[in-house]
Structure 1
């Protein structure tokens, strides 16, 4: 069998916010959706497994089981947390925490599903990174994890292209999720400044990000790999 086709898609952190929008869109596109998260999905999914993504051994065991049971041709590494802090105030303990949630699961999952993708003739891997890789105050650790993910994706694109597996990144700008509002309170002057700096004059939605993920996961996107698409309303243009 050769050539990528939409079969099963694994979405880490796919239960809420951007992750839920991605799950919903890929399901509409024809994928069988498998969500790995701590919380029950807020949208329909074909399969859900509760797992702490920071627990590498537990995650690896779950992915091995899924690789044996499902035809996984798509992996969306969406999970991520933010711990805002100025350089002088950040806690070094948060370095491991963010690396183990924002970055390491991408490696664990990809290693588990690569044999399946190769056997089925192709695959799609998408990283949900962030506009912060261009620089943003109070995001030392978060930007470090997302920048590492983008660099890792380019390396994987070079290694896996020969197998029909593409690896790309979607990098959202300011998106109106619960996480955004927790870090940027509604009505706060700083929050309004963020919105005013967006050229299209609005915050993005989970659906905006899901549209970009959908493109990278399509069979027609097989000649696009190693790329980062900024879904930011034009913030990164200037």
Structure 2
């Protein structure tokens, strides 16, 4: 695979960090967008992705300095709440952080990718789009990222740019553990729904994303790949 340059949002933790390390190991250049400073295997731009003006300014600077071949829209926000407790402010916060940067990054990179007639977009969705308690806002946002991928794939099908989504099952990340502590009811509920009986490791999700960014995935577009230990197909007959 030719060396490429990829942009990753939410790049310093969990899946974003694992993907950044994997891409760097395989010879690609990585640009990360994240709110916090961290050691990073590439160029890290600190930006609050909830701030649309700051995000736009960061993207404008990056596209002036770099030819960027693709983006992984990974940044996310979850606020677990039962339906009766979801406020409109919470809904707006979750939808905006999951969706606004995804649209902004693709719009910023699109002219360059079109000019070069090559590009990759991967939206990180979630198994929760199939339904789960306490995820009204989060599951809606992640379902929208699937819809984005399908619509953009159709619009860009003749441009050399592919657009796909990856929907991880429960994965051992800081975000997941912040809401599902070891031994908690949330952990038990998630494990019971995974036929393989374990959580994913971030690098396993990164491997799937990395494939969709590759030359070999050039005829795959508009698809959602579930990486979930079988959770999307039902429970194993134990």
Range into which the TM-score falls when normalised by the shorter chain: over 0.9
Question: Residue 24 and residue 221 in structure 1: after superposition, are their counterparts in 2 closer, same or farther (change >3 A)?
Answer: same
Q: Distance in 2 between matches of 1:32 and 1:149?
A: 25
The secondary structure found in structure 1 opposite 2:48 is: coil
What does residue range 45-194 of structure 1 map to in structure 2 within 5 Å?
45-194=41-190
The Cα shift of 1:46 comes to 1.6
Q: Distance in 2 between matches of 1:177 and 1:152?
A: 24
The Cα shift of 1:40 comes to 2.1
The Cα shift of 1:195 comes to 1.4
Pair 1:32-2:44 in alignment: no
Instruction: Name which of structure 1's ranges 182-191 and 159-168 shifts more when overlaid on structure 2.
Output: 182-191
TM-score (norm 1): 0.95
Q: Distance in 1 between matches of 2:170 and 2:69?
A: 29
The Cα shift of 1:65 comes to 1.2
Instruction: Name which of structure 1's ranges 113-122 and 73-82 shifts more when overlaid on structure 2.
Output: 113-122
Q: Distance in 2 between matches of 1:23 and 1:46?
A: 8
Structure 2 match to 1:221: 217
The secondary structure found in structure 2 opposite 1:54 is: coil
Q: Distance in 2 between matches of 1:216 and 1:71?
A: 19
Structure 2 match to 1:232: 228
The Cα shift of 1:121 comes to 2.1
Q: Distance in 2 between matches of 1:75 and 1:190?
A: 31
Pair 1:22-2:19 in alignment: yes
Aligned residues: 234
The Cα offsets for residues 114-136 of structure 1, whole Å up to 9 and x where unpaired, read as 11111222100000000011001
Q: Is the 8 A contact 1:26 1:214 kept in 2?
A: yes
Q: Distance in 1 between matches of 2:67 and 2:28?
A: 10
The secondary structure found in structure 2 opposite 1:208 is: helix
Structure 1 ranges of 4+ moved more than 4 A: none
Root mean square deviation, CA, Å: 1.3
Structure 1 match to 2:194: 198
Structure 1: runs of 5 or more not aligned: none
The Cα offsets for residues 137-180 of structure 1, whole Å up to 9 and x where unpaired, read as 10000011111111011000001121100000010111011111
Pair 1:41-2:52 in alignment: no
Question: Residue 237 and residue 50 in structure 1: after superposition, are their counterparts in 2 closer, same or farther (change >3 A)?
Answer: same
